[in-house]
Amino acid sequence: MVMNPVSPSLSTPETSRSSVIRGAVVRFAGDSGDGMQVTGDQFTAAAALARNDLATFPDFPAEIRAPAGTTYGVSGFQIHFSSQDVFTPGDAPDVLVAMNPAALKTNLKDLKKGGLLILNNGTFNATNLKKAGYEVSPLENNSLDGYTVLSIDITKHTVASVKDTGLSNKEAHRCKNFWTLGLMFWIYSRPLEPTLKWIDSKFGKRPDIAAANVAALKAGHAYGETAEVFQQRYEVPAAPVAKGEYRNIGGNTATALGLIAASQQCGLPLVLGAYPITPASDILHELSKYKHFGVTTIQAEDEIAAVCAALGASYAGNLGVTSTSGPGMALKMEGIGLALSVELPLVIVDIQRGGPSTGLPTKTEQADLLQAVYGRNSEGPVCVIAASTPGNCFTMAIEAVRLATKYMTPVILLTDGYLANGAEPWRIPDVSELPKFEVKFRTDPTNFQPFERDPQTLGRNWAIPGTPGLMHRVGGLEKDYDSGHISYSPENHERMVKVRAAKIAGIANDIPPLGIEVGEDSGKLLVLGWGSTYGSIREAVQRCRDRGLSVSHAHLRYLNPFPANLGELMQRFERVLVPELNLGQLVKMIRSTYLVPAESLPKVQGHPFLIAELEDKIRQILES
Amino acid sequence: MSELINPAKLTKKDFETDQDVRWCPGCGDYSILANVQKMMPELGIARENIVWVSGIGCSSRFPYYMNTYGFHTIHGRAPAVALGVKIANPSLSVWLATGDGDGLSIGGNHLMHCLRRNLDIKVLMFNNRIYGLTKGQYSPTSELGKVTKSTPSGSVDQPVDPASFALGVNASFVARSIDTEAQHLGEVLRRAAAHVGTAFTEIYQNCNVFNDGAFDAFTDKAVRAERQVRVEHGKPLVFGANNDKGLRLNPKTLGLEVVKVGEGGVTLDDVLVHDETNPMFGQLLARMPFPEFPVAVGVLHATLRPTYDGTLRAQQKAARDKLGQGDLAKLLRGGSTWTI
């Protein structure tokens, strides 16, 4: 079920030219302009087509083209692929590809001892070395001892391989990433055809560039075959996963597809209001392609207009959705408050990033939890849920729509930069497996009261403009309990505050109880996570269990309300540990809600947890 | 809650709600409400297909008093909410009530984008040059030096002219009228209702509590003939009790000047004839300094250009024509897939 990432035994000579390994962690690192994300995506696609299980972690700077050669301009892409289940992109890479000195400088510390280091020595000139902060070239001292170093002038080889395509020198240099990809494909025994096809579709309008990239890819592959610098190449067999049709999917794509699926399942046209913001913009890009699904996307003038347009669409009977990240969430709060006050469905997707303020736009964090749960003025309860993996974004997006329409409430779906940009193989669900939920508009004028509630859900009537006989007014002023007329009555206000709270609390009866992901349902330690830390926690808990420790993992996908059995589940463990990528926000909610002495494991570095960090903490708790 | 009525038989009364109107006695908003309720039946639109959206402020209580659908939203954001309403159901007749503070201060951004997009909605801006609901602070249309509770030494803000602002962001319909001028207001509202695109109407509205008499200098019966020019498409821009004053273009300054017909060889032929389709006319008329010039009221500018919602619908239809109705199963299988 769970595997330890296995390093290829690079130092062991093998008689066979190709050996089967369980998997590897590979990191590509280079300048922002070196095409590392494209390289990583193509390498990922090849692993997916080979049916490996995988997880990816793109890590890039906020600047589009930071000055070339600098350490802050380094862009990285890590992939963990395996014939076993994969839960994280891996802690330390087995293989590091460094396209320039800055990439080596910033990434070498992570490479496993003995790991394979492939570097482009064509970029190790005095200028680049100085920019990276090297006084002496690391190629010329013994600082790389302890790694298997493959130093190649990738620049020279690339330029030579594309010389017949008539590209300028600058354009020729830009093919380096495909040369490198070709070499990596050779090392991991991957076919070139899918990438050749991709190049054709991507660069079809520039046949000269397409031809050059093809030439570079093939040349890199041929280099592996002929240069005889490798002791071996590797094969990673298919992972034994459940039967079905699979695709590789990233979190933002999965969120977008989930929203479309939900819109189709409930029969409401989807209206997305959004303002460009990293790392959420891809949801806007993705949804804007699907006009033929009745999807309307509005690139609004700002975050506030985006949420207001989505709410206006819901008011008129469509499915209003808005997507954003932390700073945008802050701006949307008054709009969300209006939505909960007029009790209309609204889905808000917050792809969390490092903060406060502009913070770390391209880095991940889970620090919007309290903002999501408590961020409105006055008593402003909304439903808050979170996705745990890129593929789970699909499921939770549908869940957000189900709850929003059933309970007539805003639902905040939290994902983060790590889920948004990371990818994993995803079993494509059959449409018949998807939850189908009916949305009913009020049409009967008899005894119509706009704020009359369903006795079970406490959701109010949804009467949309265009419906004869149901004309009524709603707004952000306090409303009379049934009629919705403006009411300043003290008793009525308290009753309304309480019913809005009770409605959200009641959702606990309509969501799955919290289960145990790994381990027994009682014991010494429960590691309670939420959101994108799923993979790291699961792997760390399993490793500790393999050592005989009494530890289990539970993972929250519902943050407000909590699953009804959460308190009871925690009671069955002696201690509760809450790891999260913030200073302890969930743990604060857990302690105040259940009065349990849950312990916090916070991390706020813009990066996900390493498995080892979690493992160390669990062992420290249980072995001390 | 409300009975069904054939739209052709609707009357003013059918647009009144059972809610007590809570504006101050003597507020100009009453007159605007009455004129709108009187005009609405003429549109022949069923009440359920009309939506009033508003922000925050005295003017934004308007939806509560209209027996249509209504959404009293948050400060300044009504144009953004209206955008979603209109996109979700383009067959609705969407009206927006806003004020000078709601629409030009906190909501100036949204109003600008609404106007440039040309969303097919009608915007009524009640301009009283003051913050009423917060009890009397200066607004973005208050005159420079305005002494209020928040500006005891006089405001240091240069005011914005709503009509000029709207023309500056390429509004397709810009009109002005006055709360107390029932007939003129009715005519302007009818023109706004008939316009396809964002119809922006500024209504000078007296706040008798915090800014009483703000517009008396050109609305008072004794002076209005001399101090207002009522513009009409295709008609000379004349004004005055004897209709003997006119507006002439000075080609050297590219500005307007007031002339008297019959004096200094000026004839009616020298007076500009209003062309509402030419935005230059609108801008010149909107920006005339008072009291050197009269205040222009009426339809300053009206032209037809594609609407945001119409273009969006066309794109959606084109996508469906080209790709067919979306197939969810196919969508989920997009990209490379493999089967195990």
Cβ under 8 Å to B: A residues 57-116? none
Write out the E strands in chain B: 50-54, 69-72, 93-99, 122-127, 173-178, 199-204, 228-231, 238-239, 245-250, 255-260, 295-302, 337-339
| Residue among A292, A430, A473 minimizing CB distance to B63 | A473
**Token output for B269:** 């032929």
More confident call, B101 vs A19: B101
Per-residue confidence (pLDDT) for residue A17, from 0 to 100: 61
Chain A contact for B222, CB < 8 A? no
Identity (one letter) of the amino acid at B42? E
Helices (H) then strands (E): counts for chain B: 11, 12
Q: B81 and A261 in contact by Cβ < 8 A?
A: no
Q: A465 and B326 in contact by Cβ < 8 A?
A: no
Tell me which of A197, A315, A338 to substitute to probe the interface with B (most B C-beta atoms closer than 10 Å).
A315
Distance CA A220, CA A425 (A): 27
Under DSSP, the state recorded for B137 is B
Percent share of chain B, pLDDT over 90: 95
Under DSSP, the state recorded for B236 is B
| Residue among A260, A428, A477 minimizing CB distance to B72 | A477
Distance CA A503, CA A97 (A): 53
H-helix segments, B64-205: 78-88, 100-101, 108-117, 162-168, 182-194
Residue B59 has pLDDT above 90, yes or no: yes
Residue A148 has pLDDT above 50, yes or no: yes
Residue numbers in A near B331 (CB within 8 A):
257, 260, 290, 293
**Is B55:B73 a contact under the CB 8 Å cutoff?**
yes
Distance CA B71, CA A472 (A): 9
Q: B110 and A430 in contact by Cβ < 8 A?
A: no
Q: B275: burial class by Cβ within 10 Å (0-12, 13-18, 19+)?
A: middle
- By three-state DSSP, how is residue A278 classified? coil
- By three-state DSSP, how is residue B244 classified? coil
What confidence category does residue A624 fall into, taking pLDDT thresholds of 50, 70 and 90? Answer: confident
Query: Which of A15-29, A76-90, A306-320 comes out lowest in average pLDDT?
Result: A15-29
Write out the E strands in B135-240: 173-178, 199-204, 228-231, 238-239
What confidence category does residue A15 fall into, taking pLDDT thresholds of 50, 70 and 90? Answer: very low
Q: B64 and A318 in contact by Cβ < 8 A?
A: no
H-helix segments, A274-343: 281-287, 303-315, 326-342
pTM: 0.93
A58, containing H or E segment: strand A53-59
Residue numbers in A near B83 (CB within 8 A):
298, 300, 305, 308-309, 312
- Distances in Å between the alpha carbon of A456 and those of A459, A479, A506, A507? 8, 21, 9, 10
Q: Residue B18's CB: how many other CB atoms inside 10 A?
A: 10
Q: B84 and A448 in contact by Cβ < 8 A?
A: no
A426, containing H or E segment: strand A423-427
The position carrying tokens 């990276």 is: A132
Q: What is the dihedral of CA A201, A204, A208, A210, to 10 degrees?
A: 0
Residue numbers in B near A308 (CB within 8 A):
73-74, 77, 80-81, 83-84, 110
Domains and CATH numbers, chain B: 7-214+303-309 (3.40.50.970)
**Token output for B203:** 């209504």
Beta bridge partners of A384: A412, A560
Q: For B277-294, what is the mean pLDDT?
A: 97
What confidence category does residue B337 fall into, taking pLDDT thresholds of 50, 70 and 90? Answer: confident
Distance CA B151, CA A378 (A): 30
Residue A321 has pLDDT above 90, yes or no: yes
**Is B260:B248 a contact under the CB 8 Å cutoff?**
no
> pLDDT for A357-371, tens place per residue?
999 999 999 999 999
A399, containing H or E segment: helix A392-407
Question: DSSP string of A213-277?
Answer: HHHHHHHHHHHHHHS---S-EEE-PPP---SSEEEEEEHHHHHHHHHHHHHHHHT--EEEEE---
A&B contacts, CB < 8 Å: 227
Distance CA A66, CA A31 (A): 8
Residue numbers in B near A238 (CB within 8 A):
340
Identity (one letter) of the amino acid at A174? R
Distance from CA of B118 to the nearest CA of A (A): 14
Distance CA B46, CA B4 (A): 9
Cβ under 8 Å to B: A residues 320-379? 320, 334-335, 337-338, 342
Q: A486 and B64 in contact by Cβ < 8 A?
A: yes
Cβ under 8 Å to A: B residues 88-117? 88-89, 91-92, 109-110, 112-113
Q: B84 and A302 in contact by Cβ < 8 A?
A: no
> pLDDT for A566-616, tens place per residue?
999 999 999 999 999 999 999 999 999 999 999 999 999 999 999 999 999
**Token output for B97:** 């009530």
Task: Report, in angstroms and rounded to the nearest whole number, the Rg of chain B calculated over CA atoms.
Answer: 23
Residue B110 has pLDDT above 80, yes or no: yes
Distance CA B208, CA A598 (A): 61
Residue numbers in B near A244 (CB within 8 A):
339-340
Q: A245 and B339 in contact by Cβ < 8 A?
A: yes
Question: Buried b / exposed e across B212-235, counting CB within 10 Å, b at 16+?
Answer: eebbeebbeeeebbebbbbbeeee
Residue numbers in A near B87 (CB within 8 A):
271, 296, 298, 309, 312-313, 318
Q: For B194-220, what is the mean pLDDT?
A: 98
Per-residue confidence (pLDDT) for residue B3, from 0 to 100: 56
Domains and CATH numbers, chain A: 18-235 (3.40.920.10), 247-433 (3.40.50.970), 516-623 (3.40.50.920)
Q: Which residue of B has its CA nearest to A394?
A: B332
Under DSSP, the state recorded for B151 is B
Residue A479 has pLDDT above 60, yes or no: yes
Chain B contact for A166, CB < 8 A? no
Under DSSP, the state recorded for B248 is E
